[in-house]
Structure 1
Amino acid sequence: MTSITDLSSSVRFTSAMENSHNNLLKQYGEILDTSTELCQSHRQFVKSALDTCLKKCKDDEMLFETIQAFKKDVEQKTVSLKQKQRDISEVVSDIQQKEMQKDEIIQKIEKLKREQAKRKDLIVSQNKANKDRLKNLQKARIVFQDHLGMEIRTILGKTKLVKGEKLQFVFRNINPSNQDSAYIVTIGIKEDGAYQIVSSDPEIECLPALERRLQETNNLPAFLANVRKEFISQARC
């Protein structure tokens, strides 16, 4: 073993120590350089991450504002839609009411048409009945006025019961002792077209029965003939 007092050994030991120290310094320097690069890289990474976070925050704020604006717009549109739905409901209700009114008007029109048709038929029937009565009156006039000296007068009733135009049939040549003596029966026509006996002078007891017979048969000449017979029967009593 070499003695430590050996000069060459001391030199070699010192040289080894310096080399070791230099290597350590070199390694430490490399570590410092690496640490510095890592610090710089870390700073850049942190700065980049911070910038990214800030940008993300701004984007999120803009997105939030957009969402809020969209939400507000949706709420406004929802309110508007509800109002439009109410308006539509009112319009639909109004249309339904008008349709109901239209149906009612159509039904009233149809009813009026039916009533008008009935009135028309009634008028036609009454006109026909009046024509038949006119023929009967003409026949009666020929039979009684021309052959039996009967006079026909037109009078206007003044009371509610005999209001309107009436016909008076004046019979003569009834009483043998007084041929000019007048025997009178007054006839009117009801609203339904039926004959109505207003009065007779002198009064005939069976006149209501003769009136019913007249309304059943509508034969005026036969009625006047029966009235004349009753007057003759009374004159001879």
Structure 2
Amino acid sequence: MTSIADKNIVDCFANKIKERKHKQQEAYAEIIDTTAELSRSHGQFVKSAFDAGLKKCDNDEMLLDTFEAFKKDLQHKNALLKEKQHAITGMASDIDQKKIQKDAIIQKIERLKEENVRRKESMMSQFKANKDRLKNLQKYRTAFQENLGMEIRKIRGTAQHVNGEKLQFVFRNINPTDLNSAYVVTLGIREDRVYQIVSSDPALECLPDLERRLQETNNLPAFLASIRKQFISRAR
């Protein structure tokens, strides 16, 4: 067994310890360098990630602001759309109402046209009837004037229910003391084509009865004869 006091052995052991310590120091240095490199790399990565995160955060904020702007714009457009839809609904309602009013006016116009046609036909019929009656009166005019001393005058004026042209019958040769004295009865035709006595001079109490009889019989010569008799009776 080699003695521990051998100087070579001590030196060899010391060298080995130094060598091992040197290796450990190198290993530590390598570990430290690797740790430092990893730490530097990690710092760069963290900084890069932080910058990327910050940029992404900024982008997200911009995106959020853009989204909020789009959201507000969409809400505004929806509000405008609702207003326009409400306005369109109101316009449609107005159009429908005006269409109903237009149809009502058209129907009213048609009714008025029909009424005017009926009224025109009625007026034409009444005019024809009046014209025929006046024509018949003209036939008796000469005979009345020659035989009864009567004059027929056409007059115009207004009276209750009687408008337009009227006939005034002037009787003479009534009063024996004054054959030229005039006795007058005015006759018209109502809107319903019925004879009506407008007035008489002098007034006769029996005029309502004579008028009723004339309206019932439509016999104008008999009526005039009765009037003449009443005037003669009144004069005498």
Query: TM-score scaled by structure 2?
Result: 0.74
Please name the residue that 2:116 is paired with.
Answer: 116
Between stretches 70-79 and 125-134, larger displacement belongs to: 70-79
**CA distance in 1: counterparts of 2:159 and 2:50, whole angstroms:** 117
Cα offset, 1:59, TM superposition: 0.8
Q: Tell me the C-alpha RMSD between the 2 structures.
A: 3.9
| Residue-by-residue CA offset, 1:62-118 (whole Å, 9 max, x unaligned) | 213323432443354355445545654664565456445534533542443244234
Please name the residue that 2:219 is paired with.
Answer: 219
Partner AA of 2:151 in structure 1? E
**3-state SS, counterpart of residue 44 of structure 1:** helix
Please name the residue that 1:62 is paired with.
Answer: 62
Please name the residue that 1:145 is paired with.
Answer: 145
Q: Against the structure 1 CA distance between its residues 163 and 29, is the aligned structure 2 distance closer, same or farther, given a 3 Å change threshold?
A: closer
Please name the residue that 1:208 is paired with.
Answer: 208
Cα offset, 1:236, TM superposition: 11
Gap runs ≥5 in structure 2: none
Cα offset, 1:152, TM superposition: 1.6
Q: Against the structure 1 CA distance between its residues 170 and 159, is the aligned structure 2 distance closer, same or farther, given a 3 Å change threshold?
A: same
Structure-to-structure mapping, 1:1-237, within 5 angstroms: 2-78=2-78, 80-81=80-81, 83-85=83-85, 87-88=87-88, 91-92=91-92, 94-95=94-95, 98-99=98-99, 101-103=101-103, 105-155=105-155, 165-171=165-171, 183-201=183-201, 204-230=204-230, 234=233
**CA distance in 2: counterparts of 1:78 and 1:224, whole angstroms:** 90
Contact 2:162 2:189 (8 Å CA) reproduced: no
Between stretches 185-194 and 28-37, larger displacement belongs to: 185-194
Identity %: 60
Partner AA of 2:154 in structure 1? T
Query: TM-score scaled by structure 1?
Result: 0.74
Q: Against the structure 1 CA distance between its residues 45 and 178, is the aligned structure 2 distance closer, same or farther, given a 3 Å change threshold?
A: closer
Partner AA of 2:30 in structure 1? E
